[in-house]
């Protein structure tokens, strides 16, 4: 089978989940003998552009003639059996949907976030969950400056999504929506997406053998947070938890927009060890040596790579009962689910697991079994090929 895979990458060096999924799925398809043609853009090009270039790119978010032409040419030259689109916003624009549908006719899209409900993709207004724009009145974004805190940019994005909603771009140009959890499916149904086009498929992570390393700079026992140091990941909640839990060591790995503030906070906390960006292999080794992972996210995680990677390493999770975690965690079996923003609840479960190493190990073993049941590459491959063949 020949697959044209399309994706708008985040910035260079980003460990964003959708970037990882794109790389891993395309590599997996090639490893099974399929021909994969990759077409992508990266947001760094916007950062490097001058004032006129940025203005042109901003209008290109509505319709990119360049990417439409190039995707059309690729399809006509390569004649793929299916086009699989991951993230298309902001640089590729919805124009790639039209090119894919017109010239290939078989279009699959993985929904890594809630962008079809919330143009910002986070379903957050500040730090509060919000799905109000699912009704199509995107201009309320302007009042709140939802898109990157800018009313001007919010107005532009509201215009783009309003026009494409009128044109039914996201309804007519995609043949199959690959959702990552039941919450996504529920939200799409609520705004009129065709239930027959929707299918659920989890992400996967490779089953790699990881040895527990020796890290003399770290305590013998510790709990972990790793991932993006951003508001949506619940970093403020994490700080509130460990402002109060001062007798349990916390190791944190990752970078992001709040990294500088977090580092300053961590410097005042002897029990918090902030390692910043950590190479992946070393990161996994440190996770393997920890007790369990704390995951206080405040947004709808699609199918968190951190969470399934944690399970693959045989570690339990204490996570917010939201999005993917709702169905990924069975309370008291492979971890604990805590209501959104419930600092006391997180503290209770963190202390309970920390105080009972045997329970911690048992939950970690259950987490590993859950990974083997739901997130293995081979199972994921069969599901993906079935989606392609039946679209």
Q: How far apart are CA 98 and CA 111, in angstroms?
A: 17
pLDDT at position 313: 97
Q: How far apart are CA 93 and CA 300, in angstroms?
A: 23
Peptide bond into 292 cis (omega under 30): no
Q: What is the pLDDT of residues 146-183, one digit of tens each?
A: 988 889 889 999 999 999 999 999 999 999 999 999 99
Look up tokens 């960006």; give the residue: 277
DSSP three-state, residue 37: strand
Find out whether 293 and 310 touch, Cβ atoms under 8 Å: yes
Q: What pairs with residue 129 in β-bridges?
A: 124
pLDDT at position 52: 65
Q: What is the pLDDT of residues 20-31, one digit of tens each?
A: 999 999 999 999
**Torsions phi, psi for 129 (to 5 deg):** -60, 140
Name the DSSP letter for residue 338: E
Task: Identify the helix (H) or strand (E) that includes residue 94.
Answer: none
DSSP three-state, residue 290: coil
| DSSP result, 116-181 | TT-TTSS-EETTEE--GGGGS-TTHHHHHTTTTT-HHHHHHHHHHHHHHHHTTHHHHS-SEEEESS
pTM across the whole model: 0.93
DSSP three-state, residue 339: coil
CA 325 to chain centre: 13
CA distances from 268 to 149, 242, 252, 273 (A): 29, 11, 14, 11
Q: How far apart are CA 123 and CA 127, in angstroms?
A: 10
Token reading at 235: 């970093």
Give the sign of the dihedral formed by CA 326, CA 329, CA 332, CA 338.
Answer: negative
Q: How far apart are CA 254 and CA 277, in angstroms?
A: 4
pLDDT at position 43: 85
**Following CA atoms 48, 53, 56, 58 in sequence, which dihedral angle do they give, to the nearest 10 degrees?**
30
Ranges of the chain whose pLDDT falls below 50: none
pLDDT at position 212: 84
What domains can you pick out in the chain, each with its CATH number? 2-112+175-204+377-389 (3.40.50.2000), 223-374 (3.40.50.2000)
pLDDT at position 11: 67
Q: How far apart are CA 252 and CA 17, in angstroms?
A: 18
Q: Which segments within the chain are labelled E, that is strand? A: 2-9, 35-42, 82-85, 107-110, 124-125, 128-129, 176-179, 198-200, 223-226, 250-253, 272-274, 292-295, 316-320, 335-338
pLDDT at position 63: 94
**Torsions phi, psi for 21 (to 5 deg):** -65, -45
């Amino acid at each position: 089978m020949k697959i044209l895979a399309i994706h708008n990458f985040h910035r260079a060096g980003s460990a964003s989940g959708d970037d990882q999924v794109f790389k891993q799925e395309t590599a997996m398809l090639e490893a099974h003998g399929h021909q994969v043609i990759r077409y992508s853009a990266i947001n760094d090009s916007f950062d490097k552009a001058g004032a006129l270039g940025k203005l042109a790119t901003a209008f290109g978010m509505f319709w990119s003639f360049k990417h439409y032409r190039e995707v059309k040419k690729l399809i006509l030259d390569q004649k793929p059996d299916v086009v699989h689109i991951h993230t298309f916003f902001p640089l590729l624009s919805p124009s790639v949907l039209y090119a894919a549908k017109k010239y290939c006719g078989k279009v699959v899209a993985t929904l890594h976030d809630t962008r079809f409900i919330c143009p910002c993709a986070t379903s957050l207004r500040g730090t509060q969950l919000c799905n109000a724009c699912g009704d199509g009145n995107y201009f309320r974004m302007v009042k709140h400056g939802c898109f990157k805190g800018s009313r001007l940019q919010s107005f532009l994005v509201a215009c783009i999504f309003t026009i494409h909603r009128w044109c039914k771009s996201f309804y007519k140009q995609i043949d199959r929506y690959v959702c990552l959890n039941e919450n996504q499916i529920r939200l799409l149904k609520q705004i009129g997406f065709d239930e027959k086009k929707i299918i659920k498929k989890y992400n996967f992570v490779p089953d790699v053998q990881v040895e527990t390393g020796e890290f003399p700079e770290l305590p013998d026992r510790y709990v972990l947070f790793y991932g993006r140091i951003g508001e949506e990941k619940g970093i403020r909640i994490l700080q509130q938890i460990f402002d109060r839990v001062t007798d349990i060591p916390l190791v944190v790995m990752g970078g992001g927009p709040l990294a500088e503030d977090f580092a300053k906070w961590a410097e005042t906390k002897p029990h918090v060890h902030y390692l910043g960006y950590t190479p992946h292999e070393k990161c996994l080794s440190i996770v393997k040596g920890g007790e369990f992972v704390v995951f206080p996210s405040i947004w709808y995680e699609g199918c968190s790579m951190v969470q399934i990677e944690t399970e693959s390493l045989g570690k339990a999770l204490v996570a917010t009962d939201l999005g993917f975690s709702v169905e990924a965690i069975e309370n008291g079996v492979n971890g604990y689910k805590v209501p959104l923003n419930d600092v006391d609840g997180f503290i209770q479960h963190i202390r309970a697991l920390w105080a009972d190493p045997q329970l911690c190990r048992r939950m970690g073993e259950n987490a590993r079994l859950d990974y083997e049941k739901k997130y293995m590459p081979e199972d994921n491959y069969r599901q993906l090929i079935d989606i392609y063949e039946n679209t």
